[in-house]
Structure 1
Amino acid sequence: MKIDAWIREGLDRAVEDARLSEEIGFDGAWNSEAKSDAFLGLVLAAEHTQRIQLGSSIAVAFSRSPMNVAYQAMDLQRYSQGRFVLGLGPQIRPHIEDRFSMTWSKPAARMKDFVAALRSIWHSWATGEKLDHRGEFYRHTLMTPNFVPPAVPDSAPKIYLAGVGPKMLRVAAEAADGLFVHPFLTERYLHDVLLPTVAAHRLEDDAPLELALSPFVALDENDFEAVRTKMSFYGSTPAYRPVLEAHGWGDLQTDLNALSKQNRWGEMPALITDDMVYTMCSVGDEKQVAADLKRRYDGVVQRIRFNRPGDQVGPVRFAGLVDALRAVE
């Protein structure tokens, strides 16, 4: 099981966090896209590291064209000497339509077409064959030599997709190299819904789908309360209701959603019980958390990132936890 780090958002932190991630011994480092661009910081991270894999977790697909992403991803793959992983997610409808002013429809089918378009573009660049992608949502049929990137790498970047519900899990199983498993997750949902869905739709001839999980961890009381708050935020979103329903907690999503629409965010964490936090979060000192993570996920997921929501913390925060997890492997 590979252990990955978070790169905090903002260009001013990318170099420090990437360097420290490599020095501490992480296998990879990922950034996110909430308050800054997903790709720019990874250029700096690639420049100042030599070993670790680097990726976006996630870049918002539907705010972009597949052609835009194809160029950016291939630039990063070439510049990092093959260490880049392209992580994509759909976001949710209000953000795509009202924040990005882009089109939202059939997100699972659209994401599958997006990935197919990327692979068609990269194939055309690598082989010189005519570009001819004609999908339900994206059409790419023009590529002249003047627009083919120089020195196309031998291998295209791997593509990881974010998914929670059955439809997007199926897309990841059918079209992607890896799946970002959302931190709003329980062992029951992982084993009863996620893994069977992936197994049912992954072709036998394909390489196994790589699972990358960012589980909640709490090393102290502040961490514990930060996880509670984040769970209340995620739990208000209809897309994550199936996780709650797996435990008979579906009505909680209705209550959290109602409070969020009234802008009563401060009242939402109180609806998350301690038992709910323990169900989703590994809690204790570094040795206890490491042992619990191994118990929950060893042999099930291929990559793991420690998730302490709230105030952003750099890789050093988890240096001891990396050592503790290595010690129990």
Structure 2
Amino acid sequence: MKIDANLGSDLAGAPAAAEKLEREGYGGVWVAEAGSDPFLLSLQAISATGSVTVGTSVAIAFARTPMTLATVGFDLARHSRGRFVLGLGSQVKAHIERRYSMPWSRPAARMRELVLAMRAIWACWQDGDKLDFRGDFYTHTLMTPFFAQQPHEYGPPPVYLAGVGERMTEVAGEVADGFFVHPFTTDRYVREVTLPALERGRAKAGEEGFDGYTVCGSAMVVTGHTEEETAKAARGIKRQIAFYGSTPAYRPVLDLHGLGDLQPELTALSKEGRWREMTDLITDDILDEFAVTGTPDEIGPALQAKIGDIYDRVTLYTPYRIDPASFFPDGRGASR
């Protein structure tokens, strides 16, 4: 299991930050679409590093077309010499329609078709296939030599999808090369719900098991160098659990643990802006279901013991201030 890190959204500081994360031994660097453009951040990170995986986690798929995503993905795969991963997520209806002014309908079916359309475009550029993709949401039938990308030795990037619901997870298993598990999850939910959904999708594609497929996790971590720091970290993670738990779409995770009634209570408090009271509802037992707690040098072994058989890669989810190098006190790094 490789340990990855999130880069952040500071475009100017991205090269130095990415280089530092690579030097500290992280296996991958992920950028989110939050503030700065994720593909510009990825370009900065790629240019400053030489070995780590760099990818979007995630870029908003429905804010773009298959052609625009195919173009930037193909460019970054070439520039990175095969180190780039095109990670995509759907976002939610309100953001797609009201923030991006783009169409929204049948998100799982739309995502499936978007990935297949990208693959058709890449096959045109890389293999010389005629571009003739006709779907319910996207149509791509025109590609002239002037606008065509030239094939390159690294080929198209792998595509990872993010999902929460079982239907989107099945789509990811069917058409993607990897899957991002949402941070608001537990190892039990992944074993009993997420992995079976991925397997159903893999079966639709004629695949068995997860050979050649990458499952990425985002592990909530409670740690610090002192008791005070650890207590603040625990409070920060509880606050994040409460925030996610207030979203109705995430209730199935709580239901599995007999905590479903907590969701409407959190939702009601969130609408009133009572964030402190929301956090107080997250007990230590709930924290233990969602997070791993320990000193920085204990976190790696603890993650390996709890979820090492689930994930191929995991990103440490730490919504509080801590030096990323703290997790590798022996200097070996996670990618070795």
TM range (shorter): over 0.9
**Aligned match of 2:261:** 251
SS of the residue corresponding to residue 101 of structure 1 reads: coil
SS of the residue corresponding to residue 38 of structure 2 reads: coil
CA distance in 1 between partners of 2:151 and 2:141 (Å): 22
CA distance in 2 between partners of 1:63 and 1:314 (Å): 33
Instruction: Tell me if the contact between 1:26 and 1:322 (Cα under 8 Å) persists in the aligned partners.
Output: no
Equivalent pairs: percent with the same residue?
A: 44
Letter in 1 for 2:139: R
Q: Where does structure 2 lack aligned partners over 5 or more consecutive residues?
A: 224-229
**Aligned match of 2:318:** 308
**Aligned match of 1:135:** 135
CA distance in 2 between partners of 1:258 and 1:86 (Å): 36
Compared CA separation, residues 322 and 289, structure 1 to 2 (3 A): farther
Instruction: Tell me if the contact between 1:286 and 1:324 (Cα under 8 Å) persists in the aligned partners.
Output: no
SS of the residue corresponding to residue 111 of structure 1 reads: helix
Letter in 2 for 1:316: A
**Aligned match of 1:217:** 221
Q: Structure 1 residue 83 and structure 2 residue 93: aligned? A: no
Letter in 2 for 1:213: G
**Aligned match of 1:74:** 74
Deviates more, 1:65-74 or 1:261-270: 261-270
Q: Structure 1 residue 320 and structure 2 residue 329: aligned? A: yes
CA distance in 1 between partners of 2:334 and 2:130 (Å): 48
Paired residues for 1:1-329 under 5 Å = 1-203=1-203, 204-205=206-207, 207-219=211-223, 220-310=230-320, 315-320=324-329, 323=332
CA distance in 1 between partners of 2:324 and 2:299 (Å): 16
Instruction: Tell me if the contact between 1:7 and 1:13 (Cα under 8 Å) persists in the aligned partners.
Output: no
Q: Normalization by structure 2: what TM-score?
A: 0.91
Deviates more, 1:207-216 or 1:138-147: 207-216
SS of the residue corresponding to residue 183 of structure 1 reads: coil
CA distance in 1 between partners of 2:246 and 2:195 (Å): 24
CA distance in 1 between partners of 2:332 and 2:163 (Å): 29
SS of the residue corresponding to residue 306 of structure 1 reads: strand
Q: Give the aligned CA root-mean-square deviation in angstroms.
A: 2.0
Q: Where does structure 1 lack aligned partners over 5 or more consecutive residues?
A: none
CA distance in 1 between partners of 2:104 and 2:152 (Å): 32
Deviates more, 1:67-76 or 1:191-200: 191-200
- Give, in angstroms, the shift of residue 172 of structure 1: 0.7
- Give, in angstroms, the shift of residue 125 of structure 1: 0.8
Letter in 1 for 2:214: E
- Give, in angstroms, the shift of residue 275 of structure 1: 1.0
SS of the residue corresponding to residue 82 of structure 2 reads: coil
SS of the residue corresponding to residue 122 of structure 2 reads: helix
Compared CA separation, residues 131 and 42, structure 1 to 2 (3 A): same
CA distance in 1 between partners of 2:159 and 2:3 (Å): 18
- Give, in angstroms, the shift of residue 90 of structure 1: 0.6
CA distance in 2 between partners of 1:314 and 1:55 (Å): 21
Compared CA separation, residues 310 and 114, structure 1 to 2 (3 A): farther
Compared CA separation, residues 322 and 302, structure 1 to 2 (3 A): farther
CA displacement 1:135-176 (0-9 Å, x = unmatched): 121111111111112344442100000112111110111111
Instruction: Tell me if the contact between 2:27 and 2:334 (Cα under 8 Å) persists in the aligned partners.
Output: no
Q: Normalization by structure 1: what TM-score?
A: 0.93
Deviates more, 1:64-73 or 1:316-325: 316-325
SS of the residue corresponding to residue 161 of structure 1 reads: strand
